[in-house]
Amino acid sequence: MRYTFSLFAVLAFIWLANSGLYSPLILFFGLLSVLFVILIARRMKVVDGESLPLNLWSSLPGYYLWLLRKIITSNLEVVGCIWGSLLPGRKPIAPVSKYIPTVLRTDLGKVLYANSITLTPGTVSIDVGNDSILVHALTQDGLQELERGEMEQRIHKLAEGDASPDHDTATQPEAQC
């Protein structure tokens, strides 16, 4: 029942934030809309801890801030690679694909990891398997950063909550094109 109330709160907040109209008739229609969506979701039996992970809500803002920093730095690296490849003497972009092993056990952890990889410029998750993710990157350095495991460790801590996975976290040189 708590997931139903949480879903109601989230849907009502989104509706109120996007509506901008607060007359009694519009609020009534909004309430009907939210209740209708909840009714459909409950009939489909998708209102549970997997579809609405309440345990993540306190940790997500910190992860999103870290991911935003990664997105910005990756954007700058990609721009540097593109502009740098136009200059003589610099090596060009060399796309590579590789299966990156993962110790994430939950579907939520794997989906967060794959989506975070794709959100980071220069890398795209192509396939998610049981124990690995196929990643396409603009440079070998993009893959090496994922192999160091910082992103996976953060997602492991966020989604699975137990001790960090075993990865070699030795520092690597800065990304080069």
85-128 pLDDT, tens digit per residue, is 677 766 678 899 999 999 998 888 899 999 999 999 999 999 99
Determine the pLDDT at residue 33.
95
Q: At 123, phi and psi to the nearest 5?
A: -135, 145
Crossing angle of helices 60-85/107-119, nearest 10°?
Answer: 40
Tell me yes or no: is domain 58-160 CATH 3.30.1370. yes
Q: Cα(110)–Cα(116) distance, rounded to whole angstroms?
A: 10
Q: Cα(139)–Cα(162) distance, rounded to whole angstroms?
A: 32
Tell me if 124 sits within 8 A of 118, measured CB to CB: yes
Tokens of 49: 């801890």
Q: Given the structure tokens 């796309």, which residue do they identify?
A: 95
User: Structure pTM?
Assistant: 0.67
Residue type, 104: L
Determine the pLDDT at residue 116.
93
